[in-house]
Amino acid sequence: MIKIGIACFIFITSFYVSAKTTLVVLNWPDYLPPQIIKNFEAQYDASITQIYFESDERKDYLLNTHQGENYDVVVSSMFRAKNYQANNWLESVSQTDIPNIKHVSPTWFKEYKNSDQTCVPYVWGSIGIIYNADVVKTPMQTWAHFFTDPLSPNIRIKLLSDSRDVIGSALISLGYSANEENVDIINSAGKLLFNRLENIDSFGALELSERSLLIQDKITMAMAYNGDAMLLTKLDNRLKFVVPKEGTSLWLDCLTVMKKSKNKKLAYQFINFIHEPKNAAHITKSLYYASTNETAKQYIPKEILDDPQVYIKKETLDRSEFYKILKPVVQKNHQTIYSQLNFLLDKPKQ
C-alpha cells in the first residue's frame, strides 16, 4: 500500500554495515517505521534490506522475474497473496513459528487460516480522496464528484499506480462493484477515466513529506490510501481526506515468507517481532493504518482507535468491499485500459 511515485529503487535500511545476517523484505516505501527496524536489528543482531515497489503490479513483475527468489519476506495484499500461494512461492508458517499470531483478532485470523497459513495479517485500510480544501470549495464527498463532475483545467489530479485501484474506484462511481467482470461495464469505467485526462496530472502514490505535490500546490486532489492521506493532513491543515459515500475498496496486507528464502528462521522472528503488541501499536501510531493485532489496541491512543478514517466504522465497511481475483481476460482488460491511459497521458500535446 504506501507509496512514492518512483519506478523501483533498492534502499538499504540497515543501520549497520557488517557481515550480519541480512533479511530481504519486499515492501512498499515508508511501510515500516525506522524505530521498528532499528530495534529488530539490535535484538537479533541482523540487518534489514528493503526493496521497494510502488504498485502491486510492479511487485508481481519483480516476483515473476525470478519466480519468487531473492526475497525472505514479502508484504502483499491478501488477494494477490493467493496468486503467490498458487505459484507455490509461499511458505506455510505455524503458530509455533510465530507465537504472536495469537494476538491477531479473530476476524483477520480467519484469513490466515484460509490462506493455508501463508498470509500473516499486518495492517488494513481503505482508499479515498485527499484534496486541498482551499481550492476545492465544495467538500469532496463521492467518487462521482472525483471522476465525473466538471472541473476547471487548473484542478490537477493524481491517481494511484494500480489498475485495480483506479478502475475499481471508477466502477464504484458508476454504481458497480470494484470486482465487476462485465467487459462492457469495465470499458464504461475506462471511458470515464479517458474523459478525465485533461485534469489527470500523473499516476502514483503520494510522497509522505513536505515535498508532496499536494503540499507544494502542484496537484489539487488525489486518490490515496487512508494512512498516507492521514499523514499528509497532519503536515498541512488545508488538506482533507474522505472515504466516499458510495463506499470504497478495502485491503488487507499480509506478511508472507517466501519458500525459497535462505533465512526462514529470521523471517519468522521478524514477523513475530512485528506482532509484539507494543510494536504493532507503534506501527499504527506511526502509519495511521489499523492494526490486525487485537492486543495492540490497549497501547494505541483513543483518538486513533475512534478515528473512522483509521479504524473504519461498520456503516462504511458495509458499503465497501475487498478485491477478489479476477478472470485472466478481465485482468488483461484492466491492464489494457490502464496502459492506454498512461500512454495518452505521456503523449506530447499537439
* Per-residue pLDDT, 19: 67
Q: What value does the CA radius of gyration of the chain take, rounded to a whole number of Å?
A: 20
Long-range own/partner contacts, residues 29-32 (CB < 8 A, 24 or more apart): 29/2, 29/3, 29/4, 29/54, 30/2, 30/3, 30/4, 30/208, 30/287, 31/1, 31/2, 31/75, 31/287, 32/283
* Per-residue pLDDT, 2: 44
Over the range 42-76, which residues count as b (16 or more CB within 10 Å of their CB) and which as e? eebebbbbbbbbbbbbbbeebbeeeebebbbbbbb
- Amino acid making up residue 244: P
The answer to whether the CB of 269 falls within 8 A of the CB of 96 is: no
Residue 4 lies in a domain: no
134 and 202 assigned to the same domain: yes
201 and 334 assigned to the same domain: yes
- Terminal CA-CA length for the chain: 35
Residue 2 lies in a domain: no
The answer to whether the CB of 221 falls within 8 A of the CB of 157 is: yes
Average pLDDT by consecutive 10-residue portion of the chain (350 residues)? 45 52 95 97 97 89 92 94 92 95 95 93 96 93 92 93 94 96 96 95 91 95 96 96 94 96 97 98 97 98 95 91 92 93 73
d(CA 159, CA 147): 11
Q: Give burial (CB, 10 Å; 0-12/13-18/19+) of 172.
A: buried
**How many helices (H) and strands (E) are present in the chain, helices listed first?**
13, 12
34 and 167 assigned to the same domain: no
15 and 109 assigned to the same domain: yes
106 and 167 assigned to the same domain: no
Backbone angles phi, psi at 347, to 5 degrees: -65, 130
18 and 85 assigned to the same domain: yes
293 and 234 assigned to the same domain: no
The whole model's pTM is what? 0.88
Domain count, the chain: 2
The answer to whether the CB of 124 falls within 8 A of the CB of 290 is: yes
Residue 5 lies in a domain: no
* Per-residue pLDDT, 3: 47
CATH number at residue 287: 3.40.190.10
The answer to whether the CB of 80 falls within 8 A of the CB of 115 is: no
* Per-residue pLDDT, 1: 55
294 and 278 assigned to the same domain: yes
Residue 116 lies in a domain: yes
186 and 265 assigned to the same domain: no
135 and 180 assigned to the same domain: yes
Q: How many CB atoms lie within 10 A of CB 136?
A: 16
Contacts of 172 (CB under 8 A, 6+ apart): 143, 178, 244, 246, 247, 248, 249
167 and 243 assigned to the same domain: yes
User: In this structure, what C-alpha cell is assigned to residue 278?
Assistant: 507494543
With residues binned 3-state (H G I as helix, E B as strand, rest as coil), the percentages for the chain, rounded to 5, are 40, 20, 40
Helices (H), ranges, 72-219 = 78-86, 106-114, 143-147, 163-173, 183-194
Residue 341 lies in a domain: yes
Residue 3 lies in a domain: no
Closest to 193 measured CA to CA, from 148, 152, 143 = 148
* Per-residue pLDDT, 347: 62
Residue 44 lies in a domain: yes
The label of the residue with cell 461498520 reads: 314
d(CA 133, CA 288): 21
153 and 276 assigned to the same domain: no
Contacts of 344 (CB under 8 A, 6+ apart): 194, 197
Q: Could you list the residue range(s) of the whole structural domain that residue 332 is in?
A: 127-249+320-346
